[in-house]
Amino acid sequence: MNKFFGIVLYVIGVLFIIAFIGQIPKFLDAFLNLFKMFSSEINGLERGSIIGQLIYCIIHIAIIYFAFKYGKRIFKKK
């Protein structure tokens, strides 16, 4: 049963990596807009959008990391 959950976490990690590859321009745009936020005057709506995109990027990468980390740990348990 543990191997099954490990494989499920690996599959989730792979699906999130595929989604990450498809959204690389969006991720790069979010990080480049971070510099725009501090260098130019933008309104509150644009600041909220930039911060929301960055939070999404961080959560997406964290899910990939933890899916592989715990998937490996669970898969190797005996």
Full 3-state SS string of 9-28: HHHHHHHHHHHHHHCHHHHH
Domain boundaries, the chain: 2-76
Q: Residue 63 has what pLDDT?
A: 94
Which of 9, 11, 14, 12 has its CA nearest to residue 72? 9
Model confidence pLDDT, tens digit, residues 13-35: 999 999 999 999 988 888 888 88
Model confidence pLDDT, tens digit, residues 42-63: 888 888 888 899 899 999 999 9
9, 20, 59 from 35: Cα distances, Å: 34, 22, 20
Q: Mapping DSSP to helix (H, G, I), strand (E, B) and coil, where does residue 77 land?
A: coil
